[in-house]
Amino acid sequence: METFLHLNRWLHIAAGFTGFFVAPVALLVRKGGAAHRLWGRVFFWAMLVAGSTALVAAIFKGLTFLLLTGIFSLYLAQFGYRSLRHQGMGQSTRPALYDWASVLLGLLIFAGTLGYGLLSRPFNVVVVMFGAIGMFLTVRQLQGFRRPGPWPAGQWLRNHIAGFVGAYIAAVSAFSATSLTFIPFPLNFLWPTLVFVPLLVWLQRHYVPATGILPQVIVTP
């Protein structure tokens, strides 16, 4: 068992560092191009491996923080990647069974996370933040699936950006909390959110302007 957990740890570290370095590359290259799709897929699979190995470690060692970051990064990565298939939502595309199942499961998990954080003593601001952000995303996604008619222009792209940048924030938060021990709690958990959320908002406004006209960002899975 110790050998398995040791290998799981190194796989988690390798996947996390891969995602840490390739995400900026995907942001810098031309959106919708071959390089963007390649590095986006690498980031997605890196987050999938990092999140899965975090869940394994959390289950065997009883680490609540790893459990939360693992679930959070997994949900956001699949949310960002799945959004690529929602370009015609409300027109030629309808929510699939996977879409309903994932959003309802996410809603249940994040509601439980938020409740746990609010009721825990001492009060845990990090758990509350994870739960609140997750609840906001899943409720908005559920509302979008239930919305009659076509989605607003570019909504799928907003979701794509929010999912992938959010997964990156979760990965950096995990690295900061476990490795940057000189930063006091809870700032060691929260500074990636404070730094990267403004970037997320800027990216959404830049690539999905108020006109709804996408500036050459037609992305395929």
* pLDDT tens string 32-63: 888 999 999 999 999 999 999 999 988 888 77
Q: Report which of 191, 119, 206 is spatially closest to residue 157, judged by C-alpha positions.
A: 206
Rounded mean pLDDT of 8-31?
90
| pLDDT of amino acid 167 | 92
Of 71, 177, 79, 180, nearest to 130 by C-alpha is 71
pTM passes above 0.95? no
Q: Note the pLDDT of residue 153.
A: 82
Single-letter code of the amino acid located at 153: A
8-12, 44-48, 103-107, 206-210: the lowest-pLDDT one: 206-210
> Could you tell me the pLDDT band of residue 217, with boundaries at 50, 70 and 90?
very low
Q: Which residues of 9-19 are buried (b: 16+ CB within 10 A; e: fewer)?
A: eeebeebbebb
**Nearest alpha carbon to residue 208 among 159, 154, 165:** 154
pLDDT in tens, 170-212: 889 888 888 888 999 889 888 999 999 999 999 988 888 665 4
Residues 82-110: what's their mean pLDDT?
89
Q: Residue holding tokens 């060692």? A: 61
Structural tokens at position 57: 């470690």
Torsion sign, CA atoms 46, 48, 50, 53: negative
Q: What is d(CA 42, CA 5) in angstroms, rounded to the nearest whole number?
A: 24
For residue 105, what is the enclosing H or E element? helix 97-119
Tokens of 48: 């999938």
Element (H, E) at 41: helix 34-61
Q: What is the pLDDT of residues 130-170, one digit of tens each?
A: 889 889 989 999 998 988 888 888 889 999 999 999 999 98
Query: In which band, very low, low, confident or very high, does the pLDDT at 83 lie, cut at 50, 70 and 90?
Result: very high
How big, in percent rounded to 5, are the helix, strand and coil portions of the chain?
75, 0, 25
